[in-house]
Amino acid sequence: MQSETSKEDNQTSRNEFPFKIDANTGVITLTRKLDREQAGGSGYSFIVSVVDNGNPPLSDTVNLEFEILDVNDNKAQFDKLIYNVTINELSPIGTSVVTIHATDIDQGINSQLRFSLIDASLEFMNQGLNVNNLNNLSSIVMQNNYNFNFNNQHQHFTIDPASGVIRTNKLLDRETQPIYYLLVTATDKGKPPLSNTTLVIVNLEDANDCAPRFNTEKFVFYIAENSPINSIVGKIKAEDADEGVNAIITYEIVPGLDSNQFKLVERKQENACELLTNTELDFESNKKVFNLIIRASSLPLRNDVEVEIYVTDINDNIPRINDFTIVFNNYKNHFPLNVIGKAPGYDIDVNDNLKYCFVTGNRANLIILNETTGDIMLSPYLNTNVPTKAQFEIAVTDGLNEASAMLNLVVNLVTEKMLQNSITLRLSSINVNDFLSSIYNRFLDSISSIIQCNRDNVVIFNIQEDLDTSNLNVSLSIRLDNDIDMFYSPNIL
């Protein structure tokens, strides 16, 4: 008995036909593994014939159909290796992001897929994987080579297990995280189940949701007086966490008391501005500190910052010193060894360091002058029983400019006879400073006019304020003519 087979599957060549039959026993066996999906899912159909060895030989045929039962041997296949999508960062919760499409060429329950999602953003960033290198990402996705620890799942997105629709699950913020890397897995229901993974890159599109911010609560600047108009006071810059046109900042001075004294020039390439003077500034004026409010805007958002500007002093004024007189009443055993006063020099430039010196008159070193402080001491040479008069020229300089004045020194010898022939006048509503600065010379002129004596004969040896009243007690004696130790009696005075 002989048997023959023929193949009716027009999709497989004879050499690839997976069946063979034993010509003697009729046992049909496989020549290779079967693959339902390669066979088109329809199985195989062929004819088996049997022939005897008689003469004439007789034969018969039978049609055989083999149905290939599906097993779960195929993973799901996605229509894209990597999904790269963009959504607005202000998208509300539940916004559809993208729909994932996948198919499984298995059959029945083995082809039914369920989708799941893992947020792998942190892991991708920690390993330096990003959207700038899609080739590297593609290789990792193809190999399913994710050596990640997915304990930190942020759950900003969810996926519908059946439809594959990914939606937002939380409010998003591009400034906190601009890109998300989501691993989507499609798993079939076969036993054992098979799965495959694709990568979804979600880019957040910027929205203008961040106001400009300054890195300080107050800017403090210093500018020298007499700086020309349009001098740069300082640079002001705010930061905007948005990007593109949403990060462009404009600046303005909020109207206020000092706002007209300054102006702003924007530096668009730096997204900053410079504060310039709009008028000349003078330290010696009453206005030494200016206060502004600068506004940074990325409409409709804005922020304000306080700006404080200090005008600094420069040496633009000549020091000044007025003529002055030192009257020293030398009484026995009361000669002063310490500072008795100070040269009245001053400079309205507060930062100037003044220096003092004698120009003329002090060859005998009767007065000791501290060149840096202007403090004055009397030389021990003046501690005699001889009245003295002397005149000196004293100068003060700030290093660039100099001024001078005359110093008149009068040393009176106070004796017991002088004290016995003295009187005390009580002046109301006058203090010591006013008397010495503006009244002293007129007082001497008045007394000498009343007594009709030489002004130099009037000796004021004590001036003292009355602590209980606002009166000033002035004690004096008047010499007779030019006699050193002869005085008008108190009765006459």
Both structure tokens of 85: 């999508």
Domain-embedded: residue 493: no
Query: Which CA distances in Å does 489 have to 79, 214, 272, 422?
Result: 129, 82, 85, 7
Please name which of 116, 104, 118 lies closest in space to residue 190, comparing C-alpha atoms: 104
48 and 107 together in one domain: no
Domain-embedded: residue 489: no
186 and 123 together in one domain: yes
220 and 281 together in one domain: yes
CB proximity list for 338: less than 8 A, separation 6 or greater:
377
For residues 182 and 185, what is the distance between their CA atoms, to the nearest angstrom? 10
For residues 144 and 186, what is the distance between their CA atoms, to the nearest angstrom? 13
How deeply is 453 buried, as exposed, middle or buried, from its count of CB atoms within 10 A (0-12, 13-18, 19+)? middle
Mark which of 287, 312, 337 sits at the end of a domain. Answer: 312
Look at residue 454 and give its three-state secondary structure.
coil
82 and 132 together in one domain: yes
For residues 221 and 54, what is the distance between their CA atoms, to the nearest angstrom? 122
- Looking at residue 435, the DSSP 8-state letter turns out to be I
Mark which of 312, 341, 364 sits at the end of a domain. Answer: 312
Domain region containing 126: 77-205
Indicate if the alpha-carbon torsion angle 268, 269, 270, 275 is positive or negative. negative
- Has this prediction a pTM greater than 0.85? no
- The CATH number given to whatever domain includes residue 459 is 3.30.1490
Name the CA dihedral angle for 100, 101, 107, 113, rounded to a multiple of 10 degrees.
10
Both structure tokens of 160: 């519908």
101 and 156 together in one domain: yes
pLDDT tens-digit profile, the chain (493 residues) = 344 444 344 444 444 778 788 778 878 877 777 767 676 666 777 788 888 888 888 888 888 887 777 678 888 899 988 899 999 999 999 999 999 999 988 888 988 999 998 887 777 777 766 666 666 666 666 666 555 555 445 689 999 999 999 999 999 999 888 889 888 989 999 889 988 888 899 999 999 888 999 999 999 999 999 899 999 999 999 999 999 899 999 999 999 999 999 999 999 999 999 999 999 998 888 899 999 999 999 999 999 999 999 998 877 788 899 999 888 888 887 888 899 999 999 888 777 789 999 999 999 899 999 999 999 999 998 888 888 889 999 999 988 888 899 999 988 888 889 899 999 999 988 888 888 888 888 999 999 999 888 888 899 989 988 877 888 999 999 988 766 778 899 888 7
For residues 322 and 115, what is the distance between their CA atoms, to the nearest angstrom? 97
Q: What's the structural domain count of the chain?
A: 5
For residues 421 and 215, what is the distance between their CA atoms, to the nearest angstrom? 78
Q: Which residue has the tokens 């400009």?
A: 212
Domain-embedded: residue 456: yes
Q: Which residue has the tokens 């600068």?
A: 294
155 and 115 together in one domain: yes
Domain-embedded: residue 404: yes
139 and 201 together in one domain: yes
Instruction: Give me the helices (H) in 80-164, please.
Output: 121-126, 134-143
Domain-embedded: residue 72: no
124 and 177 together in one domain: yes
Q: Which residue has the tokens 């039978």?
A: 62
Mark which of 158, 173, 205 sits at the end of a domain. Answer: 205
96 and 195 together in one domain: yes
CB atoms within 10 A of CB 48: 17
Domain-embedded: residue 474: yes
Buried b (16+ CB within 10 A) or exposed e, 78-109: beeebbeeebebbbeeeeebbebebebbbbee
Look at residue 76 and give its three-state secondary structure.
coil
Domain-embedded: residue 490: no
Both structure tokens of 105: 């060429």
198 and 85 together in one domain: yes
294 and 368 together in one domain: no
- The CATH number given to whatever domain includes residue 228 is 2.60.40.60
Paired sense of beta strands 2-7 and 44-51, if any: antiparallel
Domain-embedded: residue 385: yes
408 and 420 together in one domain: no
For residues 116 and 26, what is the distance between their CA atoms, to the nearest angstrom? 51
Query: Which CA distances in Å does 149 have to 35, 124, 139, 184?
Result: 37, 10, 19, 16
For residues 125 and 129, what is the distance between their CA atoms, to the nearest angstrom? 6
